[in-house]
Amino acid sequence: MSNIVKKLNPSEIEQLLQRLQLDTENLPTGMRARAKYEGVTISIYHSQKVMFQGKNAEAVCFKLLGESIVASETTKEAKKKKATSTNTIAYNTHSCIGSDEAGSGDYFGPLTVCASYVSAQHIPVLKELGVDDSKRLTDKKIVELAEQLVTFLPHSLLVLDNPKYNERKQLGWSQVKMKAVLHNVCIKNVLKKVDVNAVDYIVIDQFAKREVYEHYVLGEVPERQKTKYETKGESKSLAIAAASIISRYAFVKHMDQLSKRYRMEILKGASHKVDVTAAKVIEKYGVEVLDGISKSHFSNRNKALALVNSKR
């Protein structure tokens, strides 16, 4: 199946919409319309990007838009490409499951973990969409990308909210153990959605060495021989980059909800400004509320209490 993405201007979008019988019911967030045309699924996003999916995607794209498109490489062709060096795997020439997390260094908000499957055929699509290391992207861009990625990438997203996070911490779980368990579950979930034989590698953005990761997971590590651990994995694998964007998206949306609920900006990170925000939450709502929306073992908690006490 071919996948082609094109960025159109507003006029081109309107012309395309007029040529299609549109489905606008029960669409994922971020999608404006969806249509079927000569066996090809056409997804039109609010970002003005249009995805053509199907065996005849290139022909339909050419017919509707009147411009040539370079077809995506097939998985077989991609696998023939060699790694850039003897010590480095060129993950973006293979079909991979990637996993990453967000929120682990933030005092407020949950820990979110995602695993996503990116086939070799999807690599050009992700590049066209602008998928990149989430640390280089604005929150607005992350939301835009994630709302497109979740419509076609097999993925699993888990959110460990603050009460459950703090409960695990009180039971003696380290953050590394929490992440290992969540990563492993996400990967297992994605493997149930795809053909295992079509997965060349499982790539985890490394937060612990292999032996530590395997020690902490509950149960077995699936497809252990295919599993790799990469530092700065987002820059090496688009599967990890996609997972990072989706997990960051979930974190950002959760933080936005907290800000609306408590009528103040709930800051990301763990800086002194976050201490000040936490102190405001204590003064307005109490320390119990603070603990319900934060990771209570962070030093920010004591610093916020000190700020409150200094005013008394």
Long-range contacts of 6-13 (CB under 8 A, 24+ apart): 6/49, 6/50, 6/52, 6/61, 6/65, 6/69, 6/128, 7/48, 7/49, 7/50, 7/128, 8/48, 8/49, 8/50, 8/65, 9/48, 10/48, 12/65, 13/44, 13/48, 13/50
Beta bridge pairs of residue 201: 96
With b for 16 or more beta-carbon neighbours within 10 A and e for fewer, the 247-280 pattern comes to bbbbbbbbbeebeeebeeebbbebeeebbebbbb
Handedness of CA 304, 305, 307, 308 (dihedral sign): positive
- Tell me: is residue 205 an annotated ligand-binding position: yes
Cα separations in angstroms, 287 against 256, 294, 302, 303 = 20, 10, 11, 12
Cβ proximity of 109 and 257 under 8 Å: no
* Residue located via tokens 């996948």: 3
Question: Per the structure block, which two tokens stand in for 138?
Answer: 């604005």
Partners of 6 in the β-ladder:
50
Using an 8 Å Cβ cutoff, are 23 and 33 in contact? yes
What letter would DSSP give residue 1?
-
- Residue found under tokens 């995805």: 51
Three-state secondary-structure class, residue 22: strand
Residue 195, annotated ligand binder?
Answer: no
Radius of gyration in angstroms for the set of CA atoms belonging to the chain, rounded to a whole number? 22
User: Which stretches within 29-138 are classed as H helix?
Assistant: 57-65, 75-79, 123-129
Continuous segment of H or E residues that includes residue 289: helix 287-292
Residue list, annotated binding site for a divalent metal cation: 100-101, 205
Q: Annotated binding site, which residues? A: 100-101, 205
